[in-house]
């Protein structure tokens, strides 16, 4: 039965991962050129970056499940109450910073061993009434819980893996308690840090597991009081509840009602539209919604009507070439003065119709900002290669030459990127790049 449990776990993970593969085809431009986003319950409408985050989150829990699978046999042989079994769970605990505690639970739901030592006083407590333990005992398969109040007194999610004896009877389980503000921060924050997007992870009932601050964990995004400034709240919430993946747009009121969650959907000076995308991430029988919204609003960077796109590109190219050769601009890029560089980029942007954004990279290949700010990266290190496109930036920078390429935008849509080295003599001190939507 041990092999059957492990096989069921691995098969379920492989099936899930097959469903969240990263889209390789170019993502069609939506939402940033003046046209509205048609609500779509379709994974193809989701930007590749969100697909990538989804896959990495699934991989993270897959590896954790495999680790537990390798340790249940040891505990079965050593005995649930043995000091050696406590050493096993202590080793699991120390390996992962996001684990609040790790315990051995007997078949009746009693905590018989728990680490670290600060939680030893909870040994003997009964968790048999918890929904995930009931599910574990019924199905005798690994279980990943939803958010709940642990007997230790904090909000947690739990991963239980059954322990069986030589007769394949379930005699207990390994339980890992994880604080969502730690585990999801460790997984997700490095992926989106500095990117011009907002990311949420919520349960299918709307309970938040990851947001911009730990205080938001446990809040429900389907509570209209939190998002009272979203005029089409019911429509978007309904689509997210019923569809595992999709795209839509939210209409943001100019003034947010008292008590609304401004941190996740910034209010505009007038009613505005903002894109939102979601996919479903889950493992075993638990599903979560990963929700991503670009920080920019829709329809604010349009190419003038009846304009010649090729002429616009030529004009921008010549202006960019002139800017990167200005001694004053070279000096502020070399100095790393973000405010002065941003002012120069703002002037460049405002004088050139049809540009989506203009940004700059310092000598260490870190994007330090740009204009508009809500479309720009902030301290984003391209050497980390979070997405395949980042390698193109590294190659272009190292070439020391003017480059261009077409690529999906992290926030959705597709752009043509133009990269210009900024040099002081033979020394490259940075790079300027701008994007035109295609």
Q: Has residue 312 got a pLDDT over 90?
A: no
pTM above 0.95, yes or no: no
- Closest-CA residue to 17 (of 70, 67, 62, 47): 62
Average pLDDT of span 190-202: 95
How much is the pLDDT for 229? 80
Average pLDDT of span 213-242: 87
Q: Has residue 360 got a pLDDT over 70?
A: yes
Query: Band of the pLDDT at 231, cuts 50, 70, 90?
Result: confident
Is 60-181 the same fold as 19-42+186-293?
A: yes
CATH 3.40.50.300 assigned to 309-437: no
How much is the pLDDT for 424? 96
- Which of 51-55, 237-241, 320-324 is predicted with the least confidence, judged by mean pLDDT? 237-241
Q: Which CATH number is 19-42+186-293 given?
A: 3.30.450
Please give the backbone phi and psi of residue 153, each rounded to the nearest 5 degrees, phi first. Answer: 100, 20
Cβ of 436: how many Cβ atoms within 10 Å? 21
How much is the pLDDT for 255? 57
How much is the pLDDT for 16? 33
Cβ of 294: how many Cβ atoms within 10 Å? 24
In CATH terms, the superfamily for domain 60-181 is PAS domain (3.30.450.20)
How much is the pLDDT for 28? 32
Q: Has residue 177 got a pLDDT over 80?
A: yes
Percent of the chain with pLDDT over 90: 64
Contacts of 197 (CB under 8 A, 6+ apart): 49, 292, 293, 294, 295, 410, 411
> For the chain, which residues make up each domain, given as ranges?
19-42+186-293, 60-181, 309-437
* Cβ proximity of 197 and 119 under 8 Å: no
Mean pLDDT of the chain: 85
How much is the pLDDT for 11? 35
């Amino acid at each position: 039965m041990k092999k059957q449990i492990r096989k069921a776990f691995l098969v379920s993970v492989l099936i899930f991962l097959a469903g969240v593969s990263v889209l390789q085809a170019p993502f069609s431009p939506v939402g940033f050129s003046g046209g509205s986003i048609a609500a779509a319950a379709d994974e193809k409408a989701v930007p590749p970056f969100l697909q990538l985050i989804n896959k990495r989150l699934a991989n993270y829990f897959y590896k954790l499940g495999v680790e537990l699978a390798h340790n249940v046999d040891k505990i079965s042989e050593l005995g649930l109450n043995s000091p050696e079994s406590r050493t096993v769970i202590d080793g699991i605990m120390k390996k992962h910073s996001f684990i609040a505690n790790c315990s051995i639970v007997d078949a009746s739901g009693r905590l018989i061993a728990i680490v670290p030592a600060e939680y030893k006083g909870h040994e003997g407590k009964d968790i048999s009434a918890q929904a995930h333990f009931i599910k574990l005992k019924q199905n005798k398969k690994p279980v990943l819980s939803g958010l709940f109040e642990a007997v230790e007194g904090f909000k947690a999610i739990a991963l239980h893996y059954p322990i069986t004896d030589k007769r394949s009877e379930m005699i207990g389980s390994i339980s890992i308690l994880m604080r969502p503000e730690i585990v999801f921060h460790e997984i997700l924050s490095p992926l989106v840090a500095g990117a011009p997007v907002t990311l949420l992870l919520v349960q299918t009932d709307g309970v938040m597991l990851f947001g911009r601050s730990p205080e938001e964990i446990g809040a429900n995004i389907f509570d209209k009081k939190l998002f009272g400034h979203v005029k089409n709240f019911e429509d978007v919430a309904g689509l997210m509840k019923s569809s595992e993946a999709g795209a839509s747009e939210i209409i943001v009121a100019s003034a947010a009602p008292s008590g609304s969650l401004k941190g996740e959907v910034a209010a505009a000076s007038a009613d505005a539209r903002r894109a939102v995308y979601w996919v479903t991430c889950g493992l075993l029988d638990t599903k979560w919604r990963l929700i991503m919204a670009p920080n920019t609003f829709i329809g604010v960077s349009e190419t003038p009507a009846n304009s010649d796109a090729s002429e616009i590109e030529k004009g921008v190219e010549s202006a960019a070439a002139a800017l990167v050769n200005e001694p004053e601009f070279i000096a502020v890029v070399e100095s790393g003065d973000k405010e002065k560089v941003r002012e120069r980029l703002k002037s460049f942007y405002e004088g050139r119709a049809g540009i989506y954004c203009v940004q700059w990279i310092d000598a260490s290949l870190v994007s330090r900002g740009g204009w508009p700010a809500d479309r720009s990266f902030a301290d984003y290190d391209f050497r980390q290669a979070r997405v395949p496109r980042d390698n193109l930036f590294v190659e272009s920078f190292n070439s020391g030459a003017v480059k261009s390429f077409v690529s999906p935008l992290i926030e959705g849509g597709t752009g043509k990127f133009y990269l210009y080295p900024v040099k002081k003599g033979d020394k490259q001190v940075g790079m300027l790049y701008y994007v035109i939507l295609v």
